Amino acid sequence: MDIQAIVSLDRTECAVQCNSKKRILEIIADIAAKNNEHIEQATVLNSLLARERMGSTGIGNGIALPHGRLAGLDRVIAIVVTSTPAIDFDALDEKPVDIFFALLVPEEQTEGHLQTLATVAGKLSNKETIKAIRRATTSDDILSALA
């Protein structure tokens, strides 16, 4: 699975001003819906919130991997957002989060979903990648960091 295949400039934003978990998920849902006419913001938000109710997707080190399944989606898409300041996201290490790598997957893709999460988590475990994402001031910078 190539991360470049699921990330795009129009689904990437830097230094979003935000102060709550719910608001960052709303921003992610807005970005997803704005760039895909087949999905609605409310549907994306509800899917992300439902997953968060099962347990936080904040994996530690200032990173969260919010994800959800959507009916009608034909492929995996990612939304990558950095926030300023970092926000409380109930992460495993109880530290605030400033990098959000959200995944939306077709409802029926169970195995593919897990493989994609593993690939993304592996990429985000690279300290140099994370430093580059945190230094990013443009969407291009984020994409370059993930290349």
Active site residues: 67
- For residues 14 and 137, the answer to whether their CB atoms sit within 8 Å is yes
Q: Which residues fall within 8 angstroms of residue 91, CB to CB, at 6 or more apart?
A: 56, 58, 59, 60, 62, 63, 64, 97
- In whole angstroms, give the CA distance from residue 61 to residue 56: 14
Q: 32 in helix, strand or coil?
A: helix
CB 77 within 8 A of CB 6: yes
Comparing CA positions, the residue from 120, 119, 102, 95 lying closest to residue 65 is 102
